[in-house]
A and B are shown apart, each in its own frame.
Chain A
Amino acid sequence: MYRQARWDEPVIFELGREGRRGHVVSGVEKEIKRAVGDPLRFLPASLRRRKPPRLPELSEVEVVRHFTRLSQMNYGIDLGLYPLGSCTMKYNPKINEVLARSPSLGMIHPYQNEETVQGILEILYRLSRWLAEITGTDEVCLQPAAGAHGEFLGTLIMRAHHKANDGLEGRTELIVPDTAHGTNPASGSMAGFKVLVVPSDGEGCVDLEALRAAVSERTAGLMLTNPNTLGIFEKDIEEIAGIVHGVGGLLYYDGANLNAILGKVRPGDMGFDIVHMNIHKTFGTPHGGGGPGAGPIGVSEELAKFLPVPSIGFDGEKYYWDYDRPHSVGRVRCFYGNVGVLLRAFAYILSLGAEGLEEATEVSVLNANYLLKKLKEIRGFDVPYAEGRPRKHECVVSVERMFRETGVRALNVSKRILDFGLHAPTTYFPQIVKEALMVEPTEAFEKEELDRFVEVMQRISEEAYSKPEVVLNAPVNAAIGRLDEVKASHPQSLTLSWRMHLKRRESRGEP
Chain B
Amino acid sequence: MREIGIESLEELYADVPQKFRLKRRLKLPSTQSECDVRSVVNELLSKNEGLRNMPMFLGAGCWPHYVPAAVEAVVQRTELFTSYTPYQPEVSQGLLQALFEYQSMLCEVLAMDVANDSIYDWASALGEAVRMAVRLTHRDVALVPEIIHPERLETLRTYSEPVGIRVEPVEYDPETGQLDLEDLKEKISDKTAVVYVENPSYLGFIETQVREIAEEAHDQGALFVAGVDPTSLGVLEPPGEYGADIVVGEGQPLGIPMNYGGPLLGIFACRDDMGLIRQMPGRVVGMTTSIREGRRGFCMALQTREQHIRREKATSNICSNETLCAVAAAVYLALLGPEGLKELGKVIMSRVYHMMQALAKIDGTKVPLFKAPHFKEFTLNFDGAGRSVKEVHEGLLQRQVHGGKDISKEFPRLGETALYCVTEAHSKEDIDRLALALEQILGRES
Contacts of A60 in B (CB 8 A): 68, 70, 335
Contacts of B285 in A (CB 8 A): 496
Say whether, besides A76-B82, A182-B311, A503-B272, A43 and B347 are in contact (CB < 8 Å): no
Give the contacting residue for B79; candidates A46, A72, A151; CB below 8 A.
A72
Say whether, besides A75-B79, A120-B45, A351-B34, A488 and B56 are in contact (CB < 8 Å): no
A357 B317 Cβ-Cβ under 8 A: no
| Contact mask for chain A residues 228-269; partner B; CB cutoff 8 A; 1 contact, 0 none | 000001010110000000000000000000000111111001
The segment from A50-58, A207-215, A297-305 that touches chain B is A50-58
For the complex, is B444 an interface residue (Cβ under 8 Å from A)? no
| Complex: A305 Cα to B347 Cα, angstroms | 46
| Complex: A39 Cα to B232 Cα, angstroms | 13
For the complex, is A49 an interface residue (Cβ under 8 Å from B)? yes
Contacts of A480 in B (CB 8 A): 89-90, 93, 290, 293, 295, 297
For the complex, is B439 an interface residue (Cβ under 8 Å from A)? no
Give the contacting residue for A105; candidates B37, B48, B95, B308; CB below 8 A.
B48
For the complex, is B162 an interface residue (Cβ under 8 Å from A)? yes
Say whether, besides A186-B317, A290-B117, A488-B288, A429 and B308 are in contact (CB < 8 Å): yes
For the complex, is B136 an interface residue (Cβ under 8 Å from A)? no
Give the contacting residue for A335; candidates B262, B320, B347; CB below 8 A.
B262
Most chain A beta-carbon contacts within 10 A, residue among B83, B308, B405: B83
For the complex, is A165 an interface residue (Cβ under 8 Å from B)? no
| Complex: A233 Cα to B341 Cα, angstroms | 54
B62 A110 Cβ-Cβ under 8 A: yes
For the complex, is A4 an interface residue (Cβ under 8 Å from B)? yes
| Complex: A147 Cα to B84 Cα, angstroms | 14
Nearest CB to that of A24 among chain B residues? Answer: B340
A53 B37 Cβ-Cβ under 8 A: no
| Complex: A24 Cα to B340 Cα, angstroms | 7
Q: List CB contacts (< 8 Å) of B343-387 with chain A.
A: 343-344, 346-347, 349-354, 357, 373-374
A482 B94 Cβ-Cβ under 8 A: no
| Complex: A31 Cα to B354 Cα, angstroms | 9
Contacts of B37 in A (CB 8 A): 95, 99, 347, 350-351
Contacts of B154 in A (CB 8 A): 309, 330-331
Say whether, besides A109-B51, A265-B22, A496 and B29 are in contact (CB < 8 Å): no
B16 A334 Cβ-Cβ under 8 A: no
Distance in angstroms from A85 CB to nearest chain B CB is: 11
Contacts of B297 in A (CB 8 A): 480, 483
A25 B82 Cβ-Cβ under 8 A: no
For the complex, is B279 an interface residue (Cβ under 8 Å from A)? no
A107 B30 Cβ-Cβ under 8 A: no
Distance in angstroms from B179 CB to nearest chain A CB is: 14
| Complex: A349 Cα to B436 Cα, angstroms | 46
Contacts of A320 in B (CB 8 A): none
The segment from B108-116, B190-198, B217-225 that touches chain A is B108-116
B292 A482 Cβ-Cβ under 8 A: yes
B237 A47 Cβ-Cβ under 8 A: yes
| Complex: A126 Cα to B180 Cα, angstroms | 47
Give the contacting residue for B22; candidates A23, A112, A117, A264; CB below 8 A.
A264
A183 B349 Cβ-Cβ under 8 A: no
B357 A338 Cβ-Cβ under 8 A: no
For the complex, is A452 an interface residue (Cβ under 8 Å from B)? no
Contacts of A79 in B (CB 8 A): 79
Contacts of A16 in B (CB 8 A): 337
Contacts of B25 in A (CB 8 A): 263, 354-355, 358
A72 B101 Cβ-Cβ under 8 A: no
For the complex, is A500 an interface residue (Cβ under 8 Å from B)? yes
| Contact mask for chain B residues 58-98; partner A; CB cutoff 8 A; 1 contact, 0 none | 10111010111010111011111111111111111111011
A366 B1 Cβ-Cβ under 8 A: yes
Nearest CB to that of B342 among chain A residues? Answer: A52
B107 A498 Cβ-Cβ under 8 A: yes
| Complex: A76 Cα to B77 Cα, angstroms | 10
| Complex: A76 Cα to B327 Cα, angstroms | 15
Nearest CB to that of B315 among chain A residues? Answer: A186
B78 A123 Cβ-Cβ under 8 A: no
Contacts of A482 in B (CB 8 A): 90, 290-292
For the complex, is A314 an interface residue (Cβ under 8 Å from B)? no
| Contact mask for chain A residues 274-303; partner B; CB cutoff 8 A; 1 contact, 0 none | 000010100000111111110100000000
Contacts of A308 in B (CB 8 A): 158
For the complex, is A397 an interface residue (Cβ under 8 Å from B)? no
| Complex: A49 Cα to B287 Cα, angstroms | 29
Say whether, besides A31-B428, A99-B42, A286 and B316 are in contact (CB < 8 Å): no
| Contact mask for chain B residues 257-299; partner A; CB cutoff 8 A; 1 contact, 0 none | 1111111100000001010010000011111111111011111
The segment from A6-14, A400-408, A456-464 that touches chain B is A6-14
The segment from B121-129, B138-146, B168-176 that touches chain A is B121-129
Contacts of A326 in B (CB 8 A): none
For the complex, is A141 an interface residue (Cβ under 8 Å from B)? no
Distance in angstroms from B423 CB to nearest chain A CB is: 10
Nearest CB to that of A336 among chain B residues? Answer: B261
Give the contacting residue for A55; candidates B211, B277, B336, B393; CB below 8 A.
B336
| Contact mask for chain B residues 206-250; partner A; CB cutoff 8 A; 1 contact, 0 none | 101011000000000000000000000111111001000000000
| Contact mask for chain A residues 145-173; partner B; CB cutoff 8 A; 1 contact, 0 none | 11111011000100100000000000000
Give the contacting residue for B321; candidates A87, A146, A370, A494; CB below 8 A.
A146
Q: List CB contacts (< 8 Å) of A98-149 with chain B.
A: 98-99, 101-113, 116-120, 122-123, 130, 133-134, 136, 145-149
Q: List CB contacts (< 8 Å) of A1-49 with chain B.
A: 4, 9, 11-13, 16, 20-29, 31-33, 35-36, 38-40, 42-44, 46-49
Give the contacting residue for A340; candidates B68, B262, B306; CB below 8 A.
B262
Contacts of B163 in A (CB 8 A): 190, 192
For the complex, is A396 an interface residue (Cβ under 8 Å from B)? no
Say whether, besides A29-B428, A67-B77, A335 and B261 are in contact (CB < 8 Å): yes
B82 A333 Cβ-Cβ under 8 A: no
Contacts of A355 in B (CB 8 A): 25, 30-31
Contacts of A398 in B (CB 8 A): none
B236 A499 Cβ-Cβ under 8 A: no
For the complex, is B151 an interface residue (Cβ under 8 Å from A)? yes
B262 A338 Cβ-Cβ under 8 A: yes
Most chain A beta-carbon contacts within 10 A, residue among B20, B42, B238, B428: B20
Shortest 8 CB-CB contacts between residues of A and residues of B: A335-B261, A110-B261, A119-B47, A288-B324, A106-B257, A290-B323, A74-B94, A22-B335
What are 27 pairs between A and B in contact, CB < 8 Å? A20-B337, A24-B340, A26-B425, A43-B206, A46-B211, A46-B237, A52-B341, A55-B338, A56-B334, A58-B335, A66-B334, A72-B94, A73-B94, A74-B80, A186-B312, A190-B316, A265-B21, A290-B320, A292-B263, A308-B158, A330-B158, A337-B262, A479-B93, A483-B289, A485-B299, A488-B287, A498-B104
Known: A43-B236, A58-B335. 20 other contacts (CB 8 A): A11-B100, A23-B340, A32-B351, A48-B237, A53-B338, A55-B333, A58-B337, A87-B84, A107-B64, A111-B60, A118-B48, A235-B16, A264-B22, A289-B80, A292-B320, A354-B26, A424-B87, A481-B293, A488-B287, A488-B300
